């Protein structure tokens, strides 16, 4: 159970495409397609579709098939079976909120890149021992925010994070200014009320603002 150099390099390339990784939840494939188009046109080319609804896999599959130019990840993976289902649906990468042994094994052995979640130094060290160089930091706000991640730069210089949870337009740049942050994840760029209302213009405007943020 380890993270190969080839998949790590692929994940690095994916995470470097946009400063913000939209974290999205959909109830219909149509909403997923239109949201993905709005985000792409606003400059956000990498998306995470959470596996939190019965329609999530259909939504992911629809975006993969119908929206050109975007890289689509499957998030909130809690079971190994979800890992396989996401791969079958066409996911480009995998994301989990934590690092349970079963999901960690399935994700690290998958043929596509995997971004596991951590919230403590011990979890981060365990990933580093397996060769991981990227981790989702979740829930970023409650777990310590930018100050926590800054404190990890010296002891874990080779590990980079994607803080998610409590990240929004008001604090995203404070994370992105850190040398160990690859990008940030958040749902503020595609609010649920905007998705439900079909307000693609609002989502596109929020995406454009987010795409203008700069990672260090």
48 CB-side CA count, 13 A: 30
What does pLDDT average to in each consecutive run of 10 residues of the chain (216 residues)? 88 97 97 98 98 97 98 98 97 97 95 97 94 97 97 96 97 97 98 97 98 88
Tens digits of residue pLDDT in 109-161: 999 999 999 999 999 999 999 999 999 999 999 999 999 999 999 999 999 99
Q: In this predicted structure, what is the pLDDT of residue 216? A: 74
Residue 84 sits in a domain of what CATH number?
Answer: 3.20.20.70
Inter-residue contact 14 to 71 (CB < 8 Å): yes
DSSP run (H or E) holding 81: helix 80-89
Position 216 in a domain: no
Residues with a known catalytic role? 48, 136
Position 36 in a domain: yes
Return the closest-CA partner of residue 49 out of 31, 77, 15, 75.
75
What tokens does 42 get? 């606003």
Position 196 in a domain: yes
Q: Which domain holds residue 100?
A: 5-211
Q: In this predicted structure, what is the pLDDT of residue 3? A: 87
Domain count, the chain: 1
Measured distance CA(211)–CA(42) in Å, rounded: 7
Q: In this predicted structure, what is the pLDDT of residue 1? A: 61
Position 14 in a domain: yes
Helical packing angle, 56-66 and 29-42, nearest 10°: 50
């Amino acid at each position: 159970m380890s993270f190969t150099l080839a998949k790590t390099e692929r994940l690095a390339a994916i995470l470097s495409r946009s400063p913000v990784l939209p974290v999205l939840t959909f109830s219909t494939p149509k909403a997923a397609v239109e949201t993905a188009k709005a985000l792409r046109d606003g400059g956000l080319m990498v998306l995470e579709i959470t596996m939190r609804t019965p329609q999530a896999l259909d939504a992911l599959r629809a975006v993969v098939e119908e929206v050109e130019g975007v890289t689509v990840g499957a998030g909130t993976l809690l079971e190994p079976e979800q890992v396989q289902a996401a791969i079958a649906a066409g996911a480009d990468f995998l994301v989990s909120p934590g690092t349970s042994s079963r999901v960690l094994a399935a994700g690290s052995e998958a043929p596509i890149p995997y971004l596991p979640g951590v919230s403590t130094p011990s979890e981060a060290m365990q990933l580093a021992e397996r060769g991981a160089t990227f981790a989702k930091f979740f829930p970023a706000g409650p777990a310590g925010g930018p100050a926590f991640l800054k404190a990890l730069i010296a002891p874990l210089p080779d590990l980079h994070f994607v803080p998610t949870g409590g990240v929004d337009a008001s604090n995203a740049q404070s994370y992105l200014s850190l040398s160990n942050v690859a990008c940030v994840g958040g749902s503020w760029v595609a609010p649920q009320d905007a998705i439900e209302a079909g307000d693609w213009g609002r989502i596109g405007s929020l995406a454009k603002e987010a795409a203008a943020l700069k990672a260090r």
